[in-house]
Amino acid sequence: MSSGRDLQRLQHIDTRIASLEAGVAEDAELVRRDPELERIREAAGAAAEARGQADDAAAGAEAEVNALQARVNALDRRLYGGSVHNPQDLLEMQRELEVLRGRLSDA
């Protein structure tokens, strides 16, 4: 007669499992429809998008700074390297260097 009790116990366990699964499904539905969670999900998505845009802007600014710095370095080498002898070219290079250093400072 122990097999009868085992079957009864198995039925009780199966019923309990079904009850717990139904409870989990109800809770999952409540979580899915929670307006506060939805608001937080939307805010997180907007924050992730804003961060992506900020990262892109930072990368662009960094590239601009690197390009300006490379140009400044090249002009410095030419200006103070002694390879340019025309005074007008030297003045023009010096003005360009001042402008580039200003842009670099702003960047």
Q: Give yes or no for a contact between 93 and 78, defined as CB atoms under 8 angstroms apart.
A: yes
Kindly state whether residue 67 falls inside one of the protein's structural domains.
yes
Kindly state whether residue 25 falls inside one of the protein's structural domains.
no
Count: domains in the chain? 1
Q: Give yes or no for a contact between 72 and 97, defined as CB atoms under 8 angstroms apart.
A: yes
pLDDT in tens, the chain (107 residues): 588 898 999 999 999 999 999 999 999 998 888 899 889 989 999 999 999 999 999 999 999 999 999 999 988 888 888 888 888 888 888 898 889 888 888 87
Kindly state whether residue 16 falls inside one of the protein's structural domains.
no
Kindly state whether residue 99 falls inside one of the protein's structural domains.
yes
Which residue type does 74 have? A
Kindly state whether residue 51 falls inside one of the protein's structural domains.
no
Kindly state whether residue 29 falls inside one of the protein's structural domains.
no
- In terms of residue numbers, what domain contains 75? 56-107
Is the pTM higher than 0.85?
Answer: no
Closest CA to 75 of 54, 42, 103, 47: 103
